[in-house]
Amino acid sequence: MKQHKWHKEIKITERGWVGHFICGHECRFRRNTLIEYGSERIIVSSVGNLYSNGKLTTVGYDRYSETMAFKAKKDGIYWEIDVTNQVNFDSEWSSNIIDDDTKLDEMHQNVVTEICDKLQKGNIKYETT
């Protein structure tokens, strides 16, 4: 577990599995970060560089990577994504850059930082589907 130095009340856990994308197991880039603050649990999930049948393909319309955030719900012993409660954020969320893990890490981390700031300020907004 990794604790961010700027929010000691916020607990950050980098997790080793795909968060939100059904074909995430075929992505060469994937991150899944659980953010805990008080009773709030939010997961930031990023995927990119999808190779399907050995061929690079997009993860969505005109993008090779994307980052999304969702409220988390308890599923057994784990906190997992609640796809009915997407978290709104302003940071860049998609890229059409290929094979640039540094850029994708930065994009993911910017969303994590924004969510942490919004949690601390009480400015989290969910989009319920």
Per-residue pLDDT of the chain (129 residues; tens, 9 = 90+): 344 455 568 999 999 888 888 788 889 999 999 999 999 999 999 999 999 998 999 999 999 999 999 999 999 999 999 999 999 999 999 998 887 889 999 999 999 999 999 999 988 888 877
The confidence score (pLDDT) of residue 70 equals 96
Q: Are 44 and 29 in contact (CB under 8 A)?
A: no
The confidence score (pLDDT) of residue 119 equals 93
The confidence score (pLDDT) of residue 19 equals 87
**Nearest Cα residue to 115 out of 34, 20, 1:** 34
Tokens 């890229």 appear where? Answer: 95
Instruction: Give phi and psi for 110, each to the nearest 5.
Output: -60, -40
The confidence score (pLDDT) of residue 111 equals 97
Q: Which two tokens stand for residue 128?
A: 């319920």
The confidence score (pLDDT) of residue 86 equals 95
Q: Under the phi-then-psi rule, with left for phi > 0, alpha for psi from -120 to 50, and beta for the rest, what region is 99?
A: left
List, in sequence order, every beta strand (DSSP E) within 1-129.
Answer: 11-15, 27-37, 40-52, 55-57, 65-75, 78-87, 94-95, 126-128
The confidence score (pLDDT) of residue 5 equals 53
Query: Rounded to an integer, what distance in angstroms lies between the CA atom of residue 103 and that of residue 43?
Result: 20
Compute the Cα dihedral for 4, 10, 11, 16 and give only its sign.
negative
The confidence score (pLDDT) of residue 84 equals 92
